[in-house]
Amino acid sequence: MKWIVLPYEEKENLDESDYLYIVGGYHSFDSGTEVWGAVSHDRIRLVGDRMGDIVITYESGAVDRVPLIFGYTLWYYKPWKLYKAPFDGQGKDENMKKLLNEALHLYGAFEGFEDCVLKVRLRGEKVKRIEVKNNCDKAGSPVIKGAYITSGEAEQLTGGIVSICTEEEFFEKFVVDSQNPYPENVRNAIEKIRKGLYTFEEDYNKEPIPFEYDEYHTGVKVRFYGSNIAKIANGVFYHNLKNLSERVDENGILHESFKNAPESFDSFGTWKPNAGTFHGRYYTRNRSFSVLAAFGYKELADRAVAYANKKMLFFRENNLTIGGVQIPGHFTVVIDNPLYYSEVLVPRGWPTVYTNKVFGDEYKNIGNQETDGHGLMMIGNYSVWKSMGKPKDWVEKNWVYINEACEWILWCFKHPDLSFAGEGLLFSESEGGMKGFSLYCNVPCFLGLLCYAEMAEIAGKHDAAYVWRETAQYMKKGIESYMLEPGNKKWHKFGFLHDPVPSMLADVYGFDRDDVPQKDWLEYSSNTYPDDVRSVTIRNHHGGRGGLGYNHCIMTQNALLLDHMEDASKFVQNLTKICYAPRRDNPYIAPEKFTYDPVNGVYMKQGDLGNLYQLVEVLRCYRTVLGIYVNNDGALKIFPRMPCEWGVKIERMPVEGTNAHLAVNVTYPKDGVQLMVLKFSEDNAVGRVKVRFGPFPLDTAVCRVQINGEEAECKVFKSGDSKWALAEFFPTRRMKIAAMYSSDSNLPKRSINWPVLTGDNFSNS
C-alpha cells in the first residue's frame, strides 16, 4: 500500500498493483452550470458529462482510461446538499434513486462526504504512471486529492489525507474495472437518469403531452398549428397564462412565485419541491398587467394595481423624510414591504448610495429607487385603464395614486442632491441600473408620464397633463443624450442585457409602428439590433445567462417587433423548447433560467420555476406573435408575426375596451396565398380593422386582398427582412380574407381551401 499524489511516476520497483483508491470525486466548478444558466458547452456539467480521465500506464505499455463522468465517477457537493429531488428526500422517485444507486460508484458521494473515494481494479501489473487528463472541451478540472495504490487487498488504508476501511460493503459492490471502465449497465442507468432530468432535441419531434382546455374554461383559447413545436406552444401558452391568472390573491398581491413552485438555482437538474421561493412577495418590476388585461383578466389586473397603488403611499402616509424633505410615494423593489431594500437587502451586501454617513438617521427612509419598477407600475395602471375603455371615473377614483406617482418623478428632478437624478435622467438602485442610469430604468418612467398625462386629460386635469408631458420631453432629451452611442444612432447602457425600447413602446402603443409616436427610437433600435443579437444568433438563437425573460425573451420580442422574422422564428421556437420538459411536473411552465448544451442538444430548466417576471415575458412573446390589439384611435389591429410554417386559431379573444370577443384563424403564407377568417361576437364591435399580412419573400412585388370575395385596397412594403401587405376596412360580423402575392404580376389562380373557424359560437359572451 502506498499513498500517492497525481500525477504519479513510479520510481521504485514496486510489486504488481491490484487496486487504486482515488480520493476526491468533485469538480473545480461545483455546479451543473453557471449561476444564470449557460448555452456554451464548456460551461455545462450535467449528469453523464465526461470531464476527464484517470490515465493509467503500465510498464508493459498497456494504457487504461477511467472516465470521470458525473453520476458515475464524479458528483456534486454543494448543489447536492441543496437539491436532492428526485433522488432523495421530499420528491423522491424510487426509480430514479435506484438508477443513481446503480450508477454512482463514489463512496460517500450520496451521503455528501467532503472527500469521496473511487475504487479501481487495476490489471495486476506494475504501474508506471498515473495522471489526470482534463476534457479540454470543458472549463475547470476534476478535483483529485490523491490515491492509495495497493498490491492485493488491504483492510485499512492510512497515511494519506483520509483513512479508508476497505471492508465497507460499498467497496465490494462498486468497483470500476480499468479494462471495462464504463460498463453497459452503468451507461444505461446514466442515460435513463439524463432522460429523467433533461429534455432532448428528440423530444420535440414527438407528439407533445396532450392537454385540453377544461369544460369550464370561458377565456381565450389559442391553438398554434403547423409543427410539433407549434403544438407544444399551445401548452406553454395555456399553462403559463393559467398560472399567471391564479397568482393574484383576494387582497391583490400578485405573487412572484406560485405557491408550491420548485426551485433549483445552483443545480445540475435536481430541485427542491414546494419551495415557493418568492411566494408572498409582490415585485414592482412587473409587466403582467397588459398580458392579464389583453387576455380577459382585467378584473384581476385592476385588483393587483389597486393594492400596489395603496402601498405606494407608504412614504407619504408615514411622513418619511430624507435630508429633512418629505419623500413622495414611490414604488420600491417589493410592493408589500416598501423598505425591503434598505432594511433587508442592503445588510446582505446590495449596493446603495443611501448610507448613515451621508444621510444620518434618515438613510433607510427612501427604501430604494426601483426606477424601472416605478415606471412599469405606471404603465401597468395605464394598461388596465385602457382595457376598460379609458373610463373617466377610473381616473377620478385613482387620481391620488396617479398624481403621486408623477410627483415622485418631479421630486427627483427637483432634488438631485437627494435623488441623484441627472440631466433628464432618473437614478436607480434597481438591478436594471445598479447605482446609475440605464435605458431599462428610464424608458418606463418616460412612458409612464405620457400615459398618466393622457389619463389626466380625460379627467380634465389639463395643467397636470401639461407638466407631465413637459417632464417626459425633458427625459427624452436626457435619454437620447446619454443612452445613444457617440457618433452613431445606436442605443447602449441598456441596464439589463438587451435593448428594452421596442417592447416597452409596444406595451403602450401596440404592435404597429405607425401607432408609435417615437419613431426615431424605433430607428435607433433597428440600428442597434444586429450588434445586440450577434453573440446569441451564433449560438443557435439561445439567449441564456441573465434569466429567460431578461435575455432570450427580450431578444425574441425585438426580433418580432422589428420584423426580423428569420431570427424571430428561431427565437420563438427555441423559447417553446426551453419551456417544455415532458418528463417533469408542470411540464409547460416557464423556468426562471435555463441551460442549453448545443453539442448534445440538451435543455435543463433552472431557478424558480414559473418565476413571474420570466413567465410574463414568455407570454408577452406569444402575445406579440398574435399581434391583436386596439389602438388609441379605437381601431382593431391584427398584426400576426408567425414563426415559419405556423398558423394559429384563436377563440374568444377579448376586443380591448369593448365587451366583444373575436375568433380568428390565420394561415402562414404559402404558395402565394395567406388566408384569414374572422368573426366577431357582436355587430359593430369596432369601427375599423387594420390587418397586416406576411411575412412574404423580399422579391414580392404585388399583393391583392379579397374580403368576402370583394377586392380591397392594400399596400405592400418592406420591413425588417420581409415584405408585408396592409389592408384596412370596415368590418362585418364574419369575414373571409385572402391575400395573394407574387414576385411578378402572375398571382396564383386556384380554388381556396379556407381554414376552419372553430369556436365561433359566442352564446356565452
Q: Over the stretch 61-74, which tens digit does the pLDDT of each residue have?
A: 999 999 999 999 99
Residue 678 lies in a domain: yes
pLDDT at 761 > cutoff 70: no
Q: How confident is the model at residue 215 (pLDDT cuts 50, 70, 90)?
A: confident
Same-domain check for residues 346 and 449: yes
Radius of gyration of the chain from Cα atoms? 30
Average pLDDT of the segment spanning 321-331: 98
Query: What are the C-alpha distances in Å from 47 to residues 598, 637, 762?
Result: 16, 48, 51
Same-domain check for residues 169 and 302: no
Segment 338-372, tens digit of pLDDT: 999 999 999 999 999 999 999 999 999 999 999 99
**Per-residue confidence (pLDDT) for residue 496, from 0 to 100:** 87
Q: Which residue, of 197, 226, 242, is where some domain finishes?
A: 197
What type of residue sits at position 110?
F
Segment 117-130, tens digit of pLDDT: 999 999 999 999 99
**Per-residue confidence (pLDDT) for residue 751, from 0 to 100:** 62
Closest CA to 676 of 711, 649, 641: 649
Q: Which residue has the higher pLDDT, 761 or 387?
A: 387
pLDDT at 759 > cutoff 80: no
**Per-residue confidence (pLDDT) for residue 458, from 0 to 100:** 97
Same-domain check for residues 289 and 187: no
Average pLDDT of the segment spanning 23-34: 96
Average pLDDT of the segment spanning 648-659: 94
Same-domain check for residues 193 and 287: no
Arithmetic mean of pLDDT over the chain: 95
Distance CA 578, CA 236 (A): 10
**Per-residue confidence (pLDDT) for residue 765, from 0 to 100:** 26
Structure-block grid coordinates of residue 246: 391564479
- For the domain that residue 667 is a member of, what is the CATH number? 2.60.40
Q: Which residue has the higher pLDDT, 763 or 25?
A: 25
Same-domain check for residues 7 and 150: yes
Residue 685 lies in a domain: yes
**Per-residue confidence (pLDDT) for residue 252, from 0 to 100:** 97
Segment 180-203, tens digit of pLDDT: 999 999 999 999 999 999 999 999
Q: How confident is the model at residue 545 (pLDDT cuts 50, 70, 90)?
A: confident
Same-domain check for residues 52 and 173: yes
Sign of torsion, CA 313 314 319 324? negative
Q: Which residue, of 458, 483, 508, is where some domain finishes?
A: 483
**Per-residue confidence (pLDDT) for residue 13, from 0 to 100:** 62
Within 10 angstroms of residue 249's Cβ, the number of other Cβ atoms is: 16
Same-domain check for residues 479 and 368: yes
The C-alpha angle with vertex 152 and arms to 147 and 154, in degrees rounded to 5, equals 65
**Per-residue confidence (pLDDT) for residue 535, from 0 to 100:** 87
Residue 184 lies in a domain: yes
| DSSP symbol at 41 | G
The percent of residues above 70 in pLDDT, for the chain, comes to: 98
**Per-residue confidence (pLDDT) for residue 52, from 0 to 100:** 98
**Per-residue confidence (pLDDT) for residue 253, from 0 to 100:** 97
Residue 581 lies in a domain: no
Same-domain check for residues 171 and 305: no
Average pLDDT of the segment spanning 505-531: 97
Count up the domains in the chain and report the number: 3
Residue 129 lies in a domain: yes
pLDDT at 660 > cutoff 50: yes
Average pLDDT of the segment spanning 696-723: 95
Same-domain check for residues 181 and 288: no
Q: Residues 23, 579: contact at Cβ < 8 Å?
A: no
At which residue does the C-alpha cell 412599469 appear? 376
Give the lowest-confidence range in 336-340, 651-655, 759-763.
Answer: 759-763
Q: Which residue, of 145, 163, 197, is where some domain finishes?
A: 197
Same-domain check for residues 307 and 167: no
Give the lowest-confidence range in 82-91, 174-183, 429-438, 585-594.
Answer: 429-438
Residue 647 lies in a domain: yes
Residue 508 lies in a domain: no
Tell me the residue range of the domain where 730 lies.
630-742
Same-domain check for residues 423 and 289: yes
Residue 20 lies in a domain: yes
**Per-residue confidence (pLDDT) for residue 166, from 0 to 100:** 93
